[in-house]
Amino acid sequence: MAMASSLQIAQAAPLRPIAELGAELGLLPEELELYGPYKAKVRLEVLRRLADRPDGKEIVVTAITPTPLGEGKTTTTIGLAQGLNRLGVRTAVAVRQPSLGPVFGIKGGAAGGGYSQIVPMEDFNLHLTGDNHAVGAAHNLASAFLDNHLHHGNVMGIDPQTITWPHVVDISDRALRHAIIGLGTAEDGVQRETEWQITVASEVMAILALATDIHDLRARLGRIVVARTTDDRPVTLDDLKVAGAMTVLLRDAIKPNLLQTLEGGPAFVHAGPFANIAHGNSSVLADRVALKLVDAVCTEAGFGADMGAQKFFDIKCRLGGIRPSAAVIVATIRALKMHGGVGRIVAGKPLDPALEAEDAEAVRRGAANLAKQIENVRAYGVPVVVAINSFPTDAASEVAAVREVSLAAGARDAVTATHFTDGGAGAEDLARAVWAAAQEGAPDFRFLYPDDAPLSEKIETIATRIYGADGVDFGAGVLEQLERIEGIGYGHLPICMAKTHLSLSHDPARKGRPSGFRVPVREARLFAGAGFVTAYCGDMRTMPGLPSRPAGEGVDIDAEGNVVGLF
């Protein structure tokens, strides 16, 4: 009998009342704000009450460079947490809330899969408690204040050519990438070029994920730089007197959301910055709350270890005061074969048979990518366990090849897991290996570069040490942009690289472990509120487009009013 779909499994699952789960965690009734019976927000007062309680262990789950096959990183994060709970280690999941862009675009849902999911699955993938909409409203309020200031005389002398603050929408819509606004009469505003970005690329979203309390959120929003004046002074949202109103719009969004896994364990879902554009990690606050309540927190960093994990360590841990105990790198045999040059994925076509045929040599070639990602995590002094997300077609020789490469590259262990089909029971071996690594911890945890290094040096360090590049080619004016940022006092900030997630390089076509390349950086922007400087590499876009057959085509309501088509 064929296995039920992930949506069918989620819809058939018996759910625990979220108040019951909160009480089991040790939350007081007044620290939960219920959004129906199965989801809630957690009030931040719990952090004051539990301030003296020791933190649990932080375990970050990352992956090899993604392929169209999907590596199952979220599924593994949830399965691992379920496995740890089965071993008696009180464990919570902490992940991002998905953007509606990928949900209705190319990726579909992001709640995990099979018997390792967060539920209610439909709520998780759609509006949840409205946080993403609040981020969009706050961001666009600032956009409206900026254009209103220009319309009413521009008393600050803002140079419209220097405006870097876009508009946002949480839908992939390529037609909005470049736009002209203010068309019509003088009453319709000042005509200028602008752009729309996807909401998860907003600096407001990055701030929501990095803020430590409502006052820190307010201060960060006020520091956002949106333009320069004609005499080259930065213009902030405090200058536009809008940061306070934005904070009010986000006063509920700053509270982490509590949901549950299929096996009834706690799952914190909060914030959703993309890892190829922004820092790609769930919120500092969700992690901090969870760490006070449980023995271990399994959090997910977006895309491969060169993307989300690098930003987890150098941005989230640096700015949020979080220290990791262990890391998990997820790989599949099929994906490693693709990195080894085998198989071709064609949308709408059956899986290439070559990806299911035994080929240990192709796996070994592709595992060069895995080896590099292990090296990337080890560069921070964090112990690594490789999770081999198992498929029925995996051959023993192929698994042995992955294990051999993993151990040679410095991983503590490489463990096969069947959590997709078996839930937490299928991840118990993985959980034992990860918990052993977490007990060892990372006493020598270190950042990749010091705060006081020049911004250009930080960019080159990431490119050469994490991507394996020969160096960086700075485009026209980029070094001047970096010098200007340093000149106004922000040279100490970490770097957020905006780069394709589909390759260790800037070129998505280069799989495996590419060499002999240089990373082109076309632009640098200051994100003073979030607390980092973004370097845009290659032709990286901040507004995705829909594919020829968007995933949303299959989403609908059935005769009983149930959601169908999410996956």
Asked if 82 and 144 sit in the same domain, the reply is: no
518 beta partners: 471
* Structural domain includes residue 106: yes
Distances (CA, A) of 304 to 101, 235, 395, 422: 20, 35, 24, 25
Domains held by the chain: number: 3
Q: Which of 25, 63, 61, 54 is nearest to 437 (CA)?
A: 61
Residue 68 vs residue 433, higher pLDDT: 433
* Structural domain includes residue 372: yes
Asked if 322 and 409 sit in the same domain, the reply is: yes
Q: Scan for tokens 């991840």, then name that residue.
A: 427
Average pLDDT over residues 291-305: 97
* Structural domain includes residue 445: no
User: Per residue in 162-192, pLDDT tens?
Assistant: 999 999 999 999 999 999 999 999 999 999 9
pLDDT value of residue 107:
65
Q: SS3 string of 455-480?
A: HHHHHHHHHHHHHCCCEEEECCCHHH
Q: How far apart are CA 357 and CA 108, in angstroms?
A: 27
Residue 2 CB neighbour total at 10 angstroms:
4
Asked if 304 and 436 sit in the same domain, the reply is: yes
Average pLDDT over residues 156-161: 97
220 three-state secondary structure: helix
Q: How far apart are CA 387 and CA 263, in angstroms?
A: 20
In the chain, the largest separation of any two C-alpha atoms, in whole Å, equals: 72
pLDDT value of residue 269:
98
Distance of CA 142 to the CA centre of its chain: 24
Asked if 137 and 125 sit in the same domain, the reply is: no
Could you tell me the residue range of the domain that residue 151 belongs to? 131-249
% of the chain beyond a pLDDT of 70: 99
User: Per residue in 345-373, pLDDT tens?
Assistant: 776 678 889 899 999 999 999 999 999 99
Asked if 242 and 336 sit in the same domain, the reply is: no
* Structural domain includes residue 381: yes
User: Per residue in 437-486, pLDDT tens?
Assistant: 999 999 999 999 999 999 999 999 999 999 999 999 999 999 999 999 99
* Structural domain includes residue 448: no
Q: What is the CATH number of the domain that holds 426?
A: 3.40.50.300
pLDDT value of residue 565:
87
End-of-domain residue from the set 410, 440, 470:
440
Asked if 144 and 105 sit in the same domain, the reply is: no
Q: Which of 440, 328, 320 is nearest to 74 (CA)?
A: 328
Q: How far apart are CA 121 and CA 7, in angstroms?
A: 7
Asked if 178 and 207 sit in the same domain, the reply is: yes
Asked if 65 and 154 sit in the same domain, the reply is: no
Q: For residue 464, what are its two tokens?
A: 């050469």
